[in-house]
Structure 1
Amino acid sequence: MEGIENIKAAREILKCSIEKSRELGVEISNRCWRLESCEQRLDFLAGALRNLACKCTLYKMSGHDVDRVIGPAASVVKIFDVICGLENSLSTDDPSDDISAYVTTLKWMEEALSLLTDNCKLVVSWLETSSFNSSVAESWYVVNVNKCLSILRELQATEEHFRAKGGPLTVALDKVEVELASLLKGIAPLSLPLPDVIQNVQAIIDRLAANHRLDRCMSIYVEVRRSNVRKAVEELDLDYLEEISFTEFDSVLSVEPHIDLWAKHLEFAVKYLLDTEHRLCIEVFRKAAFKERCMDCFAKIAVQSGIHSFIKFGNTITKGKKEAIKLLKLLEMFAALNKLRSNFNRLFSGRACGEIQTQTRDLVKRVVNGTCEIFWELSLQVELQRPTSPPVDGSVPRLVNFVTEYCNQLLEDEYWSTLVQVVEIHQGWNNENFGKELLVNEMQNIVTVIGLNLETWTKRYEDVPLSYFFLMNNHWYLFKYTRGTKLGEIMGHEWITGHEEYMEYYETHFLKESWGKLPSLLSEEGLVLFPGGRAIDRQLVKKRLKEFTESFDEIYKKQSSWELCDKGLRWRVCQNVLHVVVPSYINYLEKYMPSIEFEVASTTDQHIKYTAKTLVNMITCLFEPKVGNYGSSTKCTELSGKLNNSFVTNQLSSTPAAA
């Protein structure tokens, strides 16, 4: 079966070859007939001119007029013979086989046609204006001269026929246009072609321009290169540039990934794709006569490849609502644009790229203005949060956490250097003085406002211990998470240590106003019935133990939902609570309840609800995020274990039960 299919395929190929051979035979036959006709007329022209020369000599006519006609007339014959040969080459040769040779042949054809036209005009003019003696102006002379003039006028129209639609020269130029498109299409994006390819393209453009086809040539160049660049751009999947509208997103966070892609894709498009196209344009159209048109071509390629989509996307982001996170994204956008500034200035200079220049400058202006508007309003935005309520669990407000991390991020070299540059540009536009201290002062203002907010928020707590807990928590956070950071450097050492001191101050008051009241409930006053005696008022002992337990439960239940910002702070506070509560509890049990088992709560005496170890376990599980009821949080295991090792061993090893 395969052999039969091969035979059928071969038969089809042979049929096509035979058909093409027939068509070529007809074409050659037609050309031969035309060439034979031309040769006959040329032979007649040559013979007639020689006969005229002989007759003029015989009748002693003016030799000067005859001599100046014979030379150019003989050249006409030779030139037309050359044209016929060139026409044959142009019609049968394939430009793609050797485009350089084909263009050279085309150039020779143009020169030969021009020379033929000029010589024909010259000979016709001389024959028409030559003065002859009327006595010899016989009929043979008139007939031959008129016949020569007819042939010469017909030859004079050869160039016009060749350049007419469907004429040999027009057909050859059409072939060259097709080859130009093929060569340009073969030049891959991001790479410049070999010199011989550039030379061939230049040669084609020269020939097309010489034949008044420069506009057509430019159109072909733009269409092919635009198509190539567009395909490369489409591989990046840039649909997001057109899909996003500022009315469609509430926060820049929702389009943050697109902004990151925008910066990368813009750099790729400008620094690599368009830069290569710019260099290619300059190489191809390096002649001074093509310089202005060269930039026209590049501008069209840049526009049609989608540069306006990048600018439009950037403008859309600047129109979104003002928010702190947007400031960081605008700084990233400015950094991306500034990184490409020299590329933009080099690629899009000149009148042809005027629209791109204008739109780019407008985008930079929007980014700079938007950045400065948000930055100078940051402290105000923080202040506007002051009327809000503080966290019910005494934790660090999200605003404090956000502002601290945000300021530290803004002070990173990547953002800070860009912010300095942006503000300096903005101040220059407004003819205002600039200094880095302006930015430093504003950063300090932002943090200062946070402190004022804390003072206002703490007054809204009705529970005094919770207000102290809140301040202790936040001062520790500001101390811990600004120390050793750029924000800490700006705020200064005294500011940082001040927060540490405030934390210790409010920690002391927190313990005093809450857990510090428990030991007094286990007072030993009045427990001994008789002076110097050993009798104990058991009911009073139990009563005070009950009061202690109830107060402990009340405090514990309330503070179980409170949250400390840092593991180290939780360790510290829990240790202090343990030192305040547990030793007095152990001492009370040792003295007044020696008959009760210590490790396990008594099943017979309901006044002892907790053992000392139970208290330790409960306290060490306090202040964890999402703490469960009465120390049931699974997150406190690690801290509880560490506290037990350092506290329980020391405090409980001397108890009767342990002994």
Structure 2
Amino acid sequence: MRTVFSKSPSPARTTPPPSPPRQTFSESLMDEDIEVAQSIITKWDSSNSSSYRNIDYLFSPENRHEVKQYLNSIKQLQRAMQHFVSENPMAEKLVRAQNLMQTAMKRLQKEFYQILKSNRDHLDPESVSSHSSSRASPSRSSVSDFEDESEYESRHENEAISEMERASTAAMADLRTIADCMISAGYTKECIKIYKIIRKSIIDEALYHLGVERLTLSQLQKMDWEVLEIKIKSWLNSVKVAVKTLFYGERILCDQVFSAPSLRESCFSEISRDGALALLGFPENVAKCKKTPEKMFRILDLYEAISDLWPEIESIFIFESTSAVRQTAVNSLVKLGEAARAMITEFETAIQKDTSKAPVQGGGIHPLTRYVMNYITLLTDYSGILSDIVAHWPLTVPSPLPESYFGSPDANESITSPVSVRLAWLILLTLCKLDGKAELYKDVALSYLFLANNLQYIVRKVRTSNLRFLLGDDWVAKHEAKVQQYAANYERMGWSKVLASVPADQTAAIPVDLVKDHFIRFNAAFEETYKKQSCWIIPEAKLRERIKLSLEKRVAPVYEEFYNNYGGVELRKQTWNESIVRFAPEDLRNYMSDLFNGSSSSGSVSSNSSHGGRSH
């Protein structure tokens, strides 16, 4: 009992350890968020792999649910970090959260890279530019919203989107999702660095395959024209695809991947600027090369290509950072316009300085006429852009124009456009030059035939080309009348001696000796004229037949009347009838029908015929 109730000595009292501070409810939630984020992020941590290859990728069709969890965990981690920064910036948990965020961002970097690389075919500019922005809009993307996969498939099937377009749309939506996540986490630099490197290499490679070369002015100036022309043709085949597909598609892709306008501009500018400057700077360098009229049409092709694409160029490269691209296109247009005007001036000078002195055989078409009209006819195919080029380039007439060539080029009120005036002026210069070349012929009749042939060639070229619409029907009618005037002058001068050998008044009684004299003179004049003109030519069939018919009506009836009145009655009594009356009227027509073909072998008439006609 004593032992039970006896009191043992009390032990010495000690101070209890301090209790840890009690967590707030929000802190406990943040801790829980970090734990959840760590489990998800660690699961997909690929830090042990230095390569982007040979790893399982999160953004794959079978992992859509885990993608949603992963992105949500990053959002929770961000929220926790913001809390710790505001409450205790030195907290160990903040460091832990920051390390987890770095791990997550490295993973997203690899995912971003993988999507860009593995979807090259789906993200090529042609695929991207082929479908509308509305369908590719990230704000409507099923992947961004992460709806159920069944809903994703159903909606796209209902919209009947092609498999290629669906893959392209899904890839762009995933890229935007990753970009938004990385940028909101403060990893903008890492995100756009990957994007710029990959996409710029794709654009540069595409331009290379299109044949776009980065050639300097010095390199172009050293090229033979044949080589340079091949380069121009290659550029013309490439520029439309490059602008309307390549750069346009890249611009759409940038707009779909990045939400912030500043990032869109920065990425697109850095990716496309160098290639676009090389592409659109090529025509400017070509325009600075040596200028000759023969190069005109390639210069106009280049001008037309840039002019047609200017609305797209202006729209695609609208940013301030891509203003150099727009300015390069403008500079190319300016330099090409200057080159075209210089070549037109050179062409005018070449016409005026033509010094060929040899007459064209048979009064045919002069090489200058063919060259000028073929050149001008080809120019009319570019009348639209020529209107821009010569719109503010007034025509200066160096000297008064001869009155015989219809005054000044703008005397015809129907010719009002700058292009029409300029082309009419070129034709007028040619006509003046041809007038001088007609004087090289010793035979006046042949000179008129030469003028008729050449003017007829010019009129036909005008009638059968766009020149007719530029110069007008009045111009054509006026020059056709001039052709008829030249033809009439040829007939009058070329056959006057033949007509003069027949009596003017065939109703009066003429002595037999005088009749004989008229027949002899006619024979000699006709033989001389036929021999001389048998090698003259009229290349155009309609003009040839018209002149033949006119000559027949002018000469044959007069001779036939004389023949019927005197050759068949009075001279039949003479023993020298056949030696005097060498041509029957039908023989005369046969001879004249063979004129102007330039194919007569003898150029002479035969005296062996029952009626003095030709032997065949």
325, 329, 351: which one aligns with 1:360: 329
How many residue pairs are counted as aligned between the two chains?
A: 514
Could you tell me which amino acid in structure 2 is paired with residue 383 of structure 1? Answer: Q
Q: 1:357 to 1:398 in 2, by over 3 A?
A: same
Query: Deviations along 1:151-200, whole A, 9 cap, x unmatched?
Result: x96x7764576578xxx546634542343324652324323485332332
Letter in 1 for 2:369: V
- The answer to whether residue 282 in structure 2 is matched with residue 302 in structure 1 is no
For the 8 Å contact 1:394–1:470, the answer to whether it is kept is yes
Q: Which residue of 1 aligns with 2:543?
A: 569
Show structure 1 runs of 5+ residues with no match.
1-57, 126-151, 428-434, 525-530, 596-604, 633-651
Unaligned runs of 5+ in 2: 1-13, 47-55, 129-134, 144-169, 395-414, 505-509
Identity %: 18
Instruction: State the match for 1:102 in structure 2.
Output: 67
CA deviation digits over 1:257-292, x for unaligned, max 9? 8756644532332123322221221121122xxx33
Calculate the TM-score normalised by the size of structure 1.
0.61
SS across alignment from 1:564:
coil
Cα RMSD, aligned residues only: 5.3
Distance 1:578 1:271 in 2: 65
Among 259, 262, 267, which residue is 1:292 paired with?
A: 262
Q: CA 1:220/1:613 → structure 2, altered by over 3 Å: closer, same or farther? A: farther
CA distance in 1, matches of 2:124, 2:116: 13
Aligned position for 1:42 = none
For 1:519-558, list aligned pairs within 5 A: 547=524, 551=528, 554-556=531-533
| C-alpha contact 1:521 1:548 (8 A) present in aligned 2 | yes
1:497-516 matches, within 5 Å, as: 499-516=479-496
Q: For residues 359 and 122 of structure 1, do their structure 2 counterparts lie closer, same or farther at Cα, with a shift above 3 Å needed?
A: closer
Counterpart residue number, 2:220: 245
Match of 2:388 among 395, 411, 421: 421
Partner of 1:90: 44
Please say if residues 72 and 123 of structure 1, whose CA atoms lie closer than 8 Å, have aligned partners that are also in contact: no
How far apart are the structure 2 equivalents of 1:504 and 1:246? 49
1:123-162 residue pairs with structure 2 within 5 A? 158-159=96-97
Contact 1:100–1:203 (8 Å) recurs in 2: no
Q: Is the 8 A contact 1:585 1:612 kept in 2?
A: yes
Deviation at residue 523 of structure 1 after TM alignment: 8.7
The question of 1:274 aligning with 2:261 is answered no
Cα distance change on mapping 1:59 and 1:347 into 2, 3 Å:
same
Q: Deviations over 1:118-154 (max 9, x none)?
A: 76998998xxxxxxxxxxxxxxxxxxxxxxxxxx96x
Q: Distance in 2 between matches of 1:335 and 1:258?
A: 17
Q: How far does residue 409 in structure 1 lie from its aligned partner after superposition? A: 5.7
The alpha carbon displacement at 1:366 in A equals: 0.5
Shift of 1:298: 1.5
- Sort the Cα spacing of 1:611 and 1:302 in 2 relative to 1 into closer, same or farther, 3 A: farther
Distance 1:487 1:80, change over 3 A: closer
Structure 1 or 2, whichever has the larger Rg, is 1
Where does residue 393 of structure 1 map in the other structure?
362
1:461/1:543 CA distance change after superposition, 3 Å = closer
TM-score after normalising by structure 2: 0.65
Aligned residue runs from structure 1 range 52-201, under 5 A:
59=15, 66-68=20-22, 78=32, 81-91=35-45, 94-95=57-58, 96=60, 97-98=62-63, 101-102=66-67, 104-105=69-70, 108=73, 111-112=76-77, 115=80, 158-159=96-97, 169=104, 172-182=107-117, 184-185=119-120, 186-192=122-128, 195=141, 196=143, 197=170, 198-201=172-175
- On the 8 A contact 1:308/1:356 being kept in 2, the answer is yes
User: 1:192-235, CA deviations, whole angstroms, 9 ceiling, x for partnerless residues?
Assistant: 48533233211212333356543343233234434555565566
Q: Which has the higher contact order (CA 8 A, sep 6+)?
A: 2
Match of 1:629 among 582, 594, 601: 601
Shift of 1:571: 0.5
Deviations 1:558-578 (A, max 9, x none): x41x33242111002223444
Distance in 1 between residues matched to 2:89 and 2:542, nearest whole Å: 111
Deviation, 1:415, is 3.5
Q: 1:100 to 1:307 in 2, by over 3 A?
A: farther
Equivalent residue in structure 2 for 1:337, among 306, 310, 324: 306
Is residue 319 of structure 2 the alignment partner of residue 346 of structure 1?
A: no
Taking the aligned partners of 1:302 and 1:120, their CA distance within structure 2 comes to: 40
Are 2:501 and 2:518, in contact at CA under 8 Å, matched by a contact in 1? Answer: no
